[in-house]
Amino acid sequence: MKSAVLVFPGINRERDMARTLKLVSGVEPAMVWHADTELPKGTDLVVVPGGFSYGDYLRCGAIAARAPIMDAVRSFAAKGGLVLGVCNGFQILCESGLLPGVLMRNSQLRFICRDVYLRVERSDTPFTRGYNAGQVIRVPVAHGEGNYIADGETIARLEGEGRVMFRYAAPDGMIDPNWNHNGAMNAIAGIVNDAGNVLGMMPHPENHVDPAIGCTDGRGLFAGLAEHLAKAA
C-alpha cells in the first residue's frame, strides 16, 4: 500500500492518520503539501485527513477543495484510484465535487466529541471488506459540521445504489434518531461516489486502531484497504 496523506494549513489529524497507515500496512505514507500539483508516483491510496483546514473559513473544506493538489486528486480518482476522506476530509471531498451533498452544522448546534456506534452497511467494497455487513463498530467523532444533507434525488440514488457505507446507530445496530447525534439525513455517516472508489466519512476510524487506546474497531477499514491493494498489486 503506497498511501499519500494530504496536508492543508489548519489540518490537525494528519499525524494520527499517518501513524495508523504505518501501523496497519507497515509502510510509511507520503505527506503531500496542498500546494503540490502531483501525487507521488505509484500512489494507490489518497487520504484526506481531518482537522480544520483554513480554520473552516467560508465553509468547512471550501478553500482546501480548491487547492492545487486537488486537481491531481480528481484525476487520480477519475482513473479509479482509492480516495478516503475523514471528517474535514469528507467535507473537502464534498466541496470538491468528488462526493455529492454537504455537511451542515450539527442539528443541535454543538460540537460533538465522543465515541459513536456505526453500522457497516456493506462488506463488499475495498473500504469495508474488513468488516461484516451489519456489524457495529465504535469509533470517535469530533465535529461541529457533520450533518449530512443532499437533495431528495441524491439521497434516493445513494440509497438505491447501496452507496451508504456507514450509518450512526445504537450499540445493537438499530437506526434510532437518539443515536443520530448530528441529525444527518438517513443517519448517514459515510458514503462512496458512484464508481465506489471515493469514500467520505465523518467519524475517525484512524483513532481506534491501537489496543493501548482500548478499542481497535477502526482497524478493519485500513486492514481491508491494505489487503485489497496487496491483491491488486
Partner 1 sequence: MKARVTVTLKSGVLDPQGKAIEGALKSLGVDGVSSVRQGKVFDIEIDGAEKAVVEATLKAAADKLLANTVIENYRIEIV
Catalytic positions are 87, 204, 206
Among 20, 88, 106, 193, indicate the residue that binds partner 1 (CB under 8 A). 106
Query: Does 74 help bind partner 1 (rule: CB under 8 A)?
Result: no
Query: Which segments of the chain does DSSP mark as H helices, in order?
Result: 14-25, 69-78, 88-95, 152-160, 219-232
Nearer to partner 1, 123 or 154 (CB): 154
Per-residue cell: 6 = 494530504
Distance from C-alpha of 91 to C-alpha of 86, rounded to nearest angstrom: 8
Q: How far is the CB of 50 from partner 1 (least distance, A)?
A: 19
For cell 451542515, the residue is 104
Q: Which are the contacts of 34, defined by CB distance < 8 A and separation ≥ 6?
A: 6, 7, 8, 9, 64, 67, 68, 69
Nearer to partner 1, 183 or 220 (CB): 183
From 17-25, 34-42, 94-102, 120-128, span contacting partner 1 (CB under 8 A): 94-102
Among 31, 104, 170, 215, indicate the residue that binds partner 1 (CB under 8 A). 104
Cα radius of gyration (the chain)? 16
Could you list the residues that contact partner 1 (CB under 8 A)?
A: 58-59, 62-63, 66, 95, 100-102, 104-109, 147, 149-151, 183
